[in-house]
Amino acid sequence: MLQQTTVQAVASYYAKFLRTWPTVEALADAPQDAVLTAWAGLGYYARARNLHATAKLVADTLGGRFPDTAAELRKLPGIGSYTAGAIAAIAFDRREAAIDANAERVLARLFAVTEALPKSKARLRELGQALVPARRAGDFAQAVMDLGSLICTTKRPACTRCPLARDCDAHRLGIQDELPVKAAKQARPLKRGAAFVARDAAGAVLLVRRPENGLLGGMMQPPLGPWGANFPTTQEASLQAPFRAKWIKRAGIVRHGFTHFELEIEVYVAELRSPSRPLHGGGKWQRDLSAVALPTAMKKILQHAFADDGPLSAQARSARRR
């Protein structure tokens, strides 16, 4: 959960997650939809799918025992060098470095590494690995991460309080505020498209599942048209809609930022006078929106679709808070 997410955002999710699935076997037995629903709001949903897949592998194939070396841990779904090093060091006291963003910052300053990230990652890992003590590797890993989080901070590092200040090359050269060097960020492209939110006479909303692979894989959403440089015309939107109906475009747009691009969505709404009908190509009519795994972007779309509509608006707000 802490990959790319702060402790403050994770804390409540972590506690609830462990109450729900206290063992690896319990998590392995859980439906993926339940895991994704519990994860909703944390983002980067591939982490949840990988965590669930790893639980199944450990419980069903490895007899409930996790690998205890970084090399073997890296073979599990979703576990890369940092996570493997952190688990090996903290859980099994293996002499492995755990190089997260905080540790990278500490090492870049300690050794005055001026090569820009991400090219300098391999060099920083090499330097960090050389510092790991033969004993209490887990304590060392957490100490370095905490040093970067609390003292060797991104801006205005507290060098006068740092236990490594006398050995820090960046501090000696007076360039600690300039390190680590990061490559210039590329502008994120803007994508646009349309969403189609349908409600039947019983108050159920049409949802479809995204493909398992790719962005928001396996999550539920209202039907969407393709994303491109421009919004679809009214005629194009009518062809993208999941079925023929009186689709009314809501005023305004929904905006959401993903890691690599920005998204703007126009929302079309259809109210059906009859109960839900089966659809070609799948989909489900869902009354309780809080019971399904809806990513934040899709919660925004539903909130926008029914912003002025009593009961369903309340459902959308409830789903958005999860």
Q: What is the pLDDT of residues 194-209, one digit of tens each?
A: 999 999 988 999 999 9
The residue among 49 and 279 whose pLDDT is bigger is 49
Domains and CATH numbers, the chain: 7-178 (1.10.340.30), 190-321 (3.90.79.10)
- Cα 256 from chain centre: 14
Query: What does the block give as tokens for 121?
Result: 């990652």
311 pLDDT band, cuts 50/70/90, is: very low
Q: Residue 5 above 90 pLDDT?
A: no
DSSP secondary structure letter of residue 16:
H
* Phi-psi category of residue 203: left, alpha or beta, with phi > 0 → left and psi -120 to 50 → alpha: left
Q: Phi and psi at residue 269, in whole multiples of 5°?
A: -120, 140
Q: Is the pLDDT of residue 308 over 90?
A: no
pTM for this prediction = 0.76
pLDDT at position 214 is 84
Residue 192's CB: how many other CB atoms inside 10 A? 18
Average pLDDT over residues 281-307: 88
What is the C-alpha separation between 209 and 295, in angstroms, rounded? 11
Q: Strand 262-271 to strand 205-209: parallel, antiparallel, or no bridges (unpaired)?
A: unpaired
Which residues neighbour 301 within 8 Å (Cβ) at sequence distance 6 or greater? 195, 197, 221, 222, 254, 265, 267
9: confidence class by pLDDT, cuts 50, 70, 90? very high
Q: What percent of the chain has pLDDT over 70?
A: 93
What letter would DSSP give residue 211?
Answer: P
CA-based nearest residue to 224, from 179, 134, 214? 214
